[in-house]
Structure formats: C-alpha cells, structure tokens
Chain A
C-alpha cells in the first residue's frame, strides 16, 4: 500500500522555525522499523479484557498520587443519577392521581350518568386504566435517561459495568414495563373498539328516531296528522322532544298513548 503523497501541509510550507526541544531528533526509515530498532516492538500483542482499568506495573512518572476519580466523589455522579430516577419517577407518580381524578370522577362519570348503565363503566375506565397507563410510560422514560447517561463520555465518566443483580433487575424492570405498556395499549384498544361499536349502534338508533320524527312532521304538514293522532303516536311524539334518553322511560307513563292503541284498535274492530 505505498501510494501517493498528499499535497504539502500549510505548516510544512511555512517551514520550521524552532525544532522540537523536548524530543530526540526524528529517526530515518519507516515507523515500524524504527520501533523495532528501539526494542519496544511487540507485534500483535492482544490486550485481554482483564487488564482493563488495572494500574499498570510499568511507568508511573506521575509526580503526584492519582486523585480520586470524578465519579467517586460525592455529588458529581449522584446529581445525574438523581436526574434520571427521582425526577421522572415523581413525575410518573404525579400523573396518576391528577389524570385519574380528572377522567374518572368528573368527566366520564357525568358522561356515564347521562347515558345510563352502558357508559357507567367508563368511569372505571378513566380512573384505573389511566392511572397505571400514565405511570408506565413515564417510568420507562426515566430509566431511559439513566442509560443515556452511561453513553460514551456524555456528561460524566462512564459508569463501571453494573453487577449481575443490577443488570438482572434492570432487565426485569424492562420486561415488566413492557408488559405494562402492552396491557395498557390492549385495554385501550378494547375500550376504543367498544365505544366505536356502541356509538355506531346508537347512531343507527337515533337515525331511526330522526327519520320517524321527520316523517311525522312531513305528514303533519301534508295534513294527515289527525289520522296519525288517532293512531296514538302523539304521546311518543311529545315525550321524544324532552330528550332521547327518556323516551322509553316516559313512554309508558303516557296514559293516552300506547294503552289506548290496542283499545282503539279493539274499538274499531
């Protein structure tokens, strides 16, 4: 791999003003040959993992004792660790009661009350599901920040490799987190599907009512209303104006309407 030479460097063109004082003058020849001639060459020496971070036997021209590592000092590493764990976990805890209160008690319970028993279960949906659900993702995020700090010299020094229990518990944490998130999403989907279908059914129901109402109106405009009234639809008509939910509840109360239908018919017969 001999090859070409790049253009001369700007500092080479400028020329050397003062030679290096500290170092021996450069040797001639290739770097490999020079190293071999100096007797320091150890070709292909493989560094084993066990040698890492161990104080070396050779050297120590350090004139002072090696100071404690930054991450051994109080405060430095802790502040970042605290950022990941405490802040976000408290955030997760904070999310629980507030969202639970909002969705469960006020909004959804009143909603459910208006529509009767079918939507009454939505109160439970808002309260419990949202509690656990909101806590889950944020807890996971906090843990992500913890791992983030251990990246290549991000803020502090790289942490020493965690022990077995540490990593095992971290893995378990991740698994539980994952299951929690999947369960949360599953329940959310089920709820959404349920609401979709029930809304669809309700739409059909109300559309039918609207059709009936409009038809009755049009017929009345056309002047066929007296005949319709005689058939006893009047009671249903008046009660339906009060609101859709009370229609069936109120309908039997009308004395004149449904009971008389059969009697009228019977009279006619």
Chain B
C-alpha cells in the first residue's frame, strides 16, 4: 500500500467499516483557515503505478474546509463530513459528484470540527462544533434530532461509545470531557480532564467505562468513568498538543495518537513502559489517524504535509 498524495493538507482519515480496502479522507487548503476542502475515497487495493498511487475512487471538492469525516455504519457508500462553514454534509460516494452532497445540514453557527457515526445502533450520528454545542442527526431526517448544550467553549470531538448505543463523550476547549446519554437533558458526567484544551477522546472498545483524552498539554490521559477523580494512566511522550487519540478495535488497552510534534505514537496504557512505537514519517503536523476494524493492525495517518500513509503495525510507513 503506497503513500497517497492529497490535494491539500489532510485533516482526517477513516477506514470503511464495510470494505477493507476503502479509506475516507478529508483535506483542506491553507490548513483549514480559508479555501476549499476535499473529500476523498481511496482504494487501497488498487495496484500502484510507477511511483504514483492510483487515483481516488471518489473525490469531491467543497467550498469550505473539511475538518472531519465519518463513514456511515448503516450504508456502505454513505459518509458524513464536518465543514468549516458550520454545515454537516452527507455524501453518497457511489453517486457521481453532480448528485452530491446528498444532504446539506446547516444548523451550527460556527465550524463543525468533529463527526462520529453511532457504531452500535447505526442509525444516528453526532456533530461537534465550535459554537459550543453538539447535535444529534439521523440520516433520514432533514433536521437535527437534538442539540446538546453544556460546554463553555469549542467542542472539538464527539465519540459514541462502542458498547452502549445511547452514550457518547465529547472533548472541548473548556478543559473538560463530558459523557452524555441521549435520553438525558444534561451531561451524565463532567471530567475536568486536563489543564489545557481537550482536543480528542475515544472509548475503549473492550471496556465500556474506559475513556482516553488527548490535550494541548501534550499528554494523553486514560479515565475510568466510574471513578473520574483521577486518571487511570497518563501517557507522556508527545512534544506538542495531542491532536487525536484512537483505541485499537482489536487489542484491548492499545491506542494510537497523533500530535503536532509530527509523530504518530502507539501506546498500551496498561503496560509499565506505555509507549510501544513512535512513527516520524510525516514532515508536518499529523492531523488524522485511524485503525482498521477489518484488518488487524492496519493503520492510516494523514497530515499537513498532504500525505496519506497506510501501513501495517510493526513496519515502516514509508517503506510500503
């Protein structure tokens, strides 16, 4: 699997939950400040030409920056993208670009920075926005189902629990991570997680009460929502803000993180020496990472050097 060249600095990558060779990527010109965005679907199985990767299966330029993207869990060609103009767009990558986006959901007042599809019930997705709110959407409804208010500052990420269909967590610039139940009016739990902004978080797929948060204070903390007073573990090793964290879908306790120090790190928070591997293959800030659900150990990363790397755990990304 070769490295792919994105048309702009990459912001997010996601493996398809349906096809092991499909990768969704969001990229934005000028580092997301101004300019166009690009949504790409890459075919990892396509044979690489002489020195050049195969063209993307689907490429859609948008009028504003794209910060995040997520595959639908209920439809193999549907995906959602978070846009810098405050809209959430649904794309059907099986349709030609002229018929896309299939839905344009415009309710947020400011940039939408995160989207996540419910992996358990598969009929809803969340958007996290810089207007301090989160919204719950259903792909068959033209408007949001519900708005979650409570954060005091930009919400950077929202992640559904991998086990519980009604529970999700959000990371915000107000230094807290909050756990929500869609049936409750207020957050179930507020974790004052870091001393600086919390940029990302993820649930452990094997233990439904374990949560990891990544922050501007360069650290990753692992929390147990049953005893949120102190973190279970603190993973130090990044030199700058931690942009994204993601738990492995295959191995309990294993997580992947990327940072503004241009590295991607693999951790096992239950080990004494938690840092497993450090990848320095990007030459700019790393903004998006993912771990394949269908192929164990297959990793992907993208960064502001406009490269998208896909490699198996244990090998060198650039050697592929």
Contact = CB atoms under 8 A, between A and B. Distances in A.
Interface of A: 1-7, 9-11, 14, 16-24, 26-27, 30-32, 34-38, 40-49, 51-56, 58-59, 61-64, 66-67, 69-70, 147-148, 150-158
A40 B17 contact: no
A40 B186 CA distance: 10
A49 B197 contact: no
Given A20-B164, A49-B109, A153 B199 contact: yes
A64 B165 contact: no
B136 A153 contact: no
Contact of B205 (A11, A52, A59): A11
Contacts of B130: 52, 158
Contacts of A69: 153
Contact of B141 (A16, A32, A54): A32
B232 interface: no
Contact of B167 (A10, A23, A38, A41): A23
B145 A35 contact: yes
B10 interface: no
B136 A55 contact: no
B119 interface: yes
Contact of B74 (A2, A150, A154): A2
A53 B173 CA distance: 10
A9 B75 CA distance: 15
15 contacts: A9-B205, A18-B208, A20-B208, A23-B164, A27-B166, A31-B118, A31-B182, A46-B109, A51-B109, A52-B110, A58-B185, A59-B187, A151-B32, A153-B241, A157-B173
A56 B150 contact: yes
B209 A22 contact: yes
B277 to A, nearest CB: 20
Nearest to B119: A9
- Majority SS of interface residues in chain A? loop
Contacts of A151: 31-33
A44 B144 contact: yes
Contacts of A37: 183
Interface string B173-196: 111100101111111111010011
Contacts of A21: 209, 226
B149 A58 contact: yes
B225 interface: yes
B186 A3 contact: no
B97 to A, nearest CB: 19
Contacts of A6: 17-18, 73, 76, 122, 293
Nearest to B240: A155
| Interface pairs A-B: 5 shortest CB-CB | A44-B143, A3-B75, A38-B183, A31-B124, A6-B17
A50 to B, nearest CB: 8
A27 B293 CA distance: 26
A208 to B, nearest CB: 54
Contact of A7 (B18, B150, B165, B188): B18
Contact of B133 (A38, A47, A148): A47
Interface residues on chain B, size class = 35 or more
B57 to A, nearest CB: 18
A11 B188 CA distance: 24
Interface of B: 17-18, 31-33, 67, 72-76, 78, 107-111, 113, 118-124, 129-133, 136, 138-147, 149-154, 156, 161-167, 173-176, 179, 181-190, 192, 195-197, 199, 205-209, 216, 225-226, 240-241, 243, 249-250, 260, 285, 293-294, 296
B162 A47 contact: no
B183 A40 contact: yes
Contacts of A61: 186-187, 189-190
A31 B205 contact: no
Nearest to B142: A44
A150 B30 CA distance: 12
Contacts of B32: 151-152
A1 B189 contact: no
Given A30-B121, A66-B152, A67-B175, 5 more contacts: A6-B122, A10-B205, A18-B208, A47-B108, A157-B216
Given A1-B75, A4-B18, A58-B150, A23 B144 contact: no
Nearest to B110: A52
Contacts of B185: 40, 58
Contacts of B131: 47, 49, 51-52
Contact of B113 (A20, A40, A152, A154): A152
Contacts of B120: 26
A51 B144 CA distance: 18
Contacts of A63: 190, 192
A177 to B, nearest CB: 18
Given A22-B225, A23-B166, A153-B216, A32 B124 contact: yes
Contact of B166 (A5, A34, A48, A49): A34
B67 A152 contact: yes
